[in-house]
Structures are given as structure tokens and as C-alpha cells.
Amino acid sequence: MGKWLNAADVLKNNAYLHPDKMGAKDLGRSLIFKEWNDRANRLANALLGLGLKPGDRFAAIAYNCVEWMEMYAAAVKGGLTIIPLLFRLTPTE
């Protein structure tokens, strides 16, 4: 029986099969699959290098941008859980 692919596997496969095709885009910039995969790998290694371990959680706050795609991919690659913080919430929310 085959193995199910997770988001990290899909990104890695697309970076291998379609390295120069656009993989993520926001209003200001875009990343090809190879760039996206490379940046996600570096971020995952940086987070693990800071002492996070697979299964840990980390929070992130950012505008709606292509960096979210990097953070989500890095979280999956590192076995981490990302907790997005919404900056538009009021203090009571």
C-alpha cells in the first residue's frame, strides 16, 4: 500500500518536477516552487535550530502575504504546528 503525501511532500515533489513554475503568489510578489521549497526548508531548520522540536507550536503574525505559505510549509516540514495570530482582532477577541 502506498504512503499518503503531506503538504511538505507535495511541495518537495513540485519543486523537483516543476522548479521554475509559480507556486505561491500574493499582490506584491511570487515564488517559484524551487524558491518556495528552499525557503521553507531554511525556515524549518531555523525554527528547529532555535530549540523547537517536532510537535511544538509557534505563533506568527503577518499581513496576508506569500510568507504565510513559507511559514505553513516550514511548519509541516519541521513537524511543528503554526498558530496564526490575526492582527485585526480587538483586545477582547
Q: Quote the radius of gyration of the chain (alpha carbons, Å).
A: 14
- Residue 93, pLDDT score: 65
- Fold classification of 7-85 is Rossmann fold (3.40.50)
- Residue 85, pLDDT score: 87
- Residue 1, pLDDT score: 63
**Residue pair 25/40 in contact by the 8 Å Cβ criterion:** no
pTM: 0.86
- Residue 70, pLDDT score: 94
Domain boundaries, the chain: 7-85
The count of other CB atoms within 10 Å of the CB of residue 66 is 19
Residues of the chain with pLDDT under 50: none
